[in-house]
Each structure stands twice: as C-alpha cells, then as structure tokens.
C-alpha cells in the first residue's frame, strides 16, 4: 500500500532528520493525540493540560543512571513539581514498547519533554544520556534546567 505524504509531510520529515542530526537533544513537533501519552495524562484530571517530563531508562548496564535519575527528580521537585507531570518509565518493559517507537529510544537513559495542550501531545524534545554529566552536578543542573525552560518556554 502506497501512502502519499504531500509537501507538508516531506517538510516535517526533513525537519525531523535535521533535528536528529544536530546532536544529543532534539525537538520534534507533532500534532495530534498519542494514545500512549493519553494513558499517563488521563490518570489524573490535573494532568490534562500539563506538559510532561518523562525519564526513560532500560535494563542496560549503567553505573551512573540511578544517580542521574535521582538528580533529575530533585530538579523536578525543586523547580517544576506543580507545573509539569513527571514519570519514570522502564521502556524495556514489554508493555512500554510503543514509547521506543514514539520517541526513538535507544539510550540507557533519556529525558523526553512533551508539550501538552488540551490533552494532546503537540511536540517533544529528547535529551539522550544525561548520565554522562553526573560528575559535574552544577553543569548537569544548569543544562537540564535550561533545556526544560527553553522547550516549555
């Protein structure tokens, strides 16, 4: 079956490829309803219009991932707890496999920021391998905080 994307589809694909090639963090604009994201938004009415900070990890050997997750959670508690929803998800679990496709997950640890409006995902920004920066807590905190603030505005 052949699918026609049109000029808009080609434009979005080009943007996605360019963003992917830029570096470790990438933003992708999407419009619509991601049913797997809905599962997390609809768990609580208060989450309906809250953007999401996902922390995705897998079962790969990672000496500093637990420390990085703790640091990310502390940043969330200190700066964003009432503003955004926060979820830690083991994307290696079989029932979480759709996140792998949705957010192109392949690192032991990734932060995915999802912009939510009217209960629908409107774009995301991914930061891969934040565990590499745990040895410099000041840089870690500054970098993650600036990425969150820049994406969510």
- Average pLDDT for runs of 10 along the chain of length 153: 47 42 42 48 66 94 96 98 93 84 92 87 93 97 97 93
Give the rounded distance of the alpha carbon of 4 from its chain centre. 29
SS3 110: strand
- The reported pLDDT for the residue numbered 15 is 44
- What tokens were used for 10? 């080609």
CATH 3.40.30.10 fits 23-152, yes or no: yes
pTM score of the predicted model: 0.73
- Furthest-apart CA pair in the chain: how many Å? 52
Residue 117 is encoded by which pair of tokens? 């409006």
Q: For the chain, what's the residue count?
A: 153
| Angstrom distances, CA of residue 72 to CA of 21, 53, 55, 63, 66 | 25, 10, 8, 16, 10
DSSP state of 82: T
Domain borders along the chain are: 23-152
Enumerate residues 6+ apart whose C-beta is below 8 A from 127: 24, 25, 110, 111, 112, 113, 144, 147
pLDDT of amino acid 40: 53
């Amino acid at each position: 079956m052949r699918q026609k994307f049109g000029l808009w589809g080609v434009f979005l694909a080009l943007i996605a490829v360019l963003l992917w090639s830029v570096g470790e963090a990438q933003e992708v604009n999407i419009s619509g309803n991601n049913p797997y994201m809905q599962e997390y938004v609809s768990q609580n009415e208060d989450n309906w219009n809250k953007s999401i900070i996902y922390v995705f990890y897998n079962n790969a050997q990672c000496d500093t991932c637990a420390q990085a997750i703790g640091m990310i959670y502390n940043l969330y508690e200190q700066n964003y707890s009432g503003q955004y929803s926060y979820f830690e998800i083991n994307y290696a679990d079989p029932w979480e496999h759709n996140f792998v496709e949705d957010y192109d997950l392949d690192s032991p640890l990734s932060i995915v920021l999802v912009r939510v409006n009217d209960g629908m995902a409107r774009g995301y920004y991914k930061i891969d391998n934040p565990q590499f920066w745990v040895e410099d807590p000041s840089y870690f905190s500054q970098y993650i905080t600036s990425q969150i603030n820049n994406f969510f505005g």
